[in-house]
Every structure is written in structure tokens, then in C-alpha cells.
Amino acid sequence: MEKENIAVGLDIGTTKIVAMIGKKNEYGKLEILGVGKSKSLGVARGVVNNITQTIQSIQQAVLEAENKSGYKIKDVVVGIAGQHIRSIQHSDYIIRKNAEEVIGGYDIQLLIDQVNKLAMLPGEEIIHVLPQEFKIDGQSEIKEPIGMYGGRLESSFHVVVGQASSIRNVGRCIQSSGIELSGLTLEPLASADAVLSQEEKEAGVALIDIGGGTTDLAIFKDGIIRHTAVIPFGGNVITDDIKEGCSIIEKQAELLKVKFGSAWPGENKDNEIVSIPGLRGREPKEISLKNLSKIIHARVVEIIEQVFNEIKDYGHEDPRKKLIAGIVLTGGGAQLNHIKQLVEYITGMDTRIGYPNEHLAGDSDEEISSPLYATAVGLVINSIENKTQSAIKIDAVVPEKTSVKPPVYQKQEIEEPRNEIVEEEVIKEESTGKRIQRSFFDRYVDKIKDFLDNAE
């Protein structure tokens, strides 16, 4: 049987954990084979704060995805978010030994390696080094330097930095769940892969992903990532405000927000009222929908204003940096009624809701093409690019299916597939010559694996 490129993405969010298994069909579209979803219990504002609960939630989501798809998951690409993420702009250069030789992937890798050695604040680590424009011997605005000649190769970089301990905790949770970590991706970048078109990235666009615990921002212009930010507020703070403001329990507040919530108070008439059953025989509560939308409106305005400040920091007012395609909203928070209109009102920029259906096969389940799954779809797309076989047909591993990853056999499982995957990728890189995209990640992921192995 020929080897299928089965990809797996794991979105560890504040409200939900999603494991998604997919592959490319013959038309180059993404066919989703199985999705597992579980309530996220050990994560707050995008950061793991309870390892045991997070492991259980991951295992639950993974098991559901395996049962639905008929595939056994070996490794995953995971999304990184959280308020500890920050990004910096940095320029660096190398002097090439022989200016008469063609610039190749090796030179760019050398430059990226140099940036990776940048001194960070204590406890911080570089997650992504993303080259922007290149300069060769003073000639600027070069997007693809490979194949050109020159002595001095210079580039501007978008460097994404995060807290080392938070990243390692995510790695620890995944390995303890009995699966491997094959790559790390910043969540807004994954969401951008899923919902933005190339035209939008060229014209200039801001992607706002409103999750449960954080709101992520990614700004693109001329097809290049220009700015990323993570704001430590999301849908959960809106729910908390409703809970406090209406004196109801969290479950009821969440339901109210999803079913009747609106970001625009003018939409509700004064006499629209929802009755909520009281706790343990208490009187039911009557809540005015106008008041509800006022509470939601106040908090959403605060979130959007913080994001808009980041967009201004990037330099949106400068005509050369103008974001012509405006704003794309995605994530669970994008499903809030009238949020599009509110964002347009606050920012004065064109806004649309981003659905991850552009890359999905036509017969995909409607639920998957909801903004809620944008990050998970983006992570699967990312995993496909890695060319690893992240899952295998369950027929090939029948005995293992009966046990739900007990801690004892987990240790052996962590050791063995690891070398296989890394060696396989190295061989692939040698044969294709396509080193530059993956090699830093391979080493970074290996670094986390080594750390975890030594910590055993």
C-alpha cells in the first residue's frame, strides 16, 4: 500500500482542545478524516496551568478523532498561544565567502541560524524566525534571493518569542499523552493559513482570532507577515461579565451569550426578556436582552480597541503600510451577532468573518467550516507541509487500540518513533533540497524532546 501523507493538528485552546486528522485529496484540497473535541480543563488564557487535566483533555480529543477516522495518531503539529508571546523586528546580515557563487538555501539557513542565537530575556525562547525582505549588496526589496549573486546577504526578520517554560509544558503534556510533537506553530499564523487568501495577504490584512482565553492578531502586507500579538482577553471574559452582571452561573451565562448575545445594544427592544430557571427551586430570573447586549458590547469594545492599538502600532496610518483588505475576524468569538458591524464602526476598516472553507474539500462537514475550527484546520495544513506521516490506519495497530495509552508503556513509545520521524525528515530534506522551511523547527522540536527525555 502506498504511503499516505496523513496530517494531524492539535489546537490546545482555553475552552476546547481539538485534534484534527486530514489529508490532501486529488484536487489539492483538505479532506478532514476525523475530528475530536474535548472541554479544555487545564488551560487558562492559552497557557497550561494544570498538566494532569490537560493530558486527560488531549487524550479524550485524540481518542475521539482516532475512533471517527480509523487512524492511529503518531505525532501532531501543535499551536502555541498565550499572553507570554511577543514579537520583535530584527535585521541581520552575512558576508558570503564567494560573491561569484549563486545564493542557495544554505546561505539563508546560515542567516536564520544567526538570528536564532539572539540573546533573549531570561526564560524566553525564540519560536519562529520569519524572513521578510532580503537585501543583496544594498539592492533592497528582494523577496526570493535564491539563484542571485552577491557578497552581502541581508534580511529583515519577524521574530516570535515565548516563555520557555510554557512551551515545554505543552510539549510535556503531548508526550505524556503518548504522542509525539512534530512541530510548533504560532496560532494566529495557523488561523491565517486557514482563512486568508493570498490576495488579501498581498493587499494588507489584519487577522483577528477571538478565542476563549486570548485574542490573537496577525498582520500581513505584500504577502509577508508584518506583526503578531496576543491579547490576554477573549470570549471567557465576556461570559464572566455576564455571570457577574446578571448574577447567574457560568453555564447559563455562556448559553445566554451564544444564543441571545449581541455586540450591538441598539438591536434589542426594551421589552425583550429571557427567563432563566433558578437554582434548586429558586424563582426563575428574568434578564433583559438589552442589558445583556450592553454588557457584551462594553467588553467587546475593550478587546477590539486593544487590537486596534496593535494595528496602529504596526503603522496602519502610513499610506505604504495601509491594510487595503481590512480585517478578517475568526475564532469562536467571531460568531457573536453584529460583531462585524461593531468592528467596522470602531476601526473604520472593511471587515469580514473568516471561515476555513477555502482549503477544505467540497463535501466537508458544515461544522468544520465554522470559524471555531480555523486554528485546527490551519495546523493540519501546516502538518501536511511537514510531509510526515502523522497517523496510520488502525488495522495496522490493532493490539494497541485496546489500551488508552497507559503511563507504563508510554515511556517506550516516546523513545522509538522519535528517531524514525527525525531521520525520515532528514532523508527527505536531503533528497528534495528543501531544507530552509523546516530545519529550524526540527531542531527546536528536538530541543524540547531532549529536554523532556532528560527530565524523565
Q: What is the pLDDT of residues 409-455, one digit of tens each?
A: 333 333 333 333 333 333 334 333 444 444 455 556 666 666 666 66
What is the DSSP code string of 212-264? SS-EEEEEEETTEEEEEEEES--HHHHHHHHHHHHT--HHHHHHHHHHH-BS-
What is the DSSP code string of 19-74? EEEEEE-TTSPEEEEEEEEEE--SEETTEE--HHHHHHHHHHHHHHHHHHHTEEE-
- 8 A C-beta contact, residue 95 and residue 65: no
Confidence band, pLDDT 50/70/90 cuts, at residue 5: confident
Confidence band, pLDDT 50/70/90 cuts, at residue 2: low
- The full set of domains in the chain, from first to last, is 7-82+165-192+360-455 (3.30.420.40), 86-163 (3.30.1490.110), 198-233+298-353 (3.30.420.40), 236-293 (3.90.640)
Q: What is the pLDDT of residues 150-174, one digit of tens each?
A: 999 999 999 999 999 999 999 999 9
Mean pLDDT score of the chain: 85
> Looking at residue 50, what is its pLDDT?
93
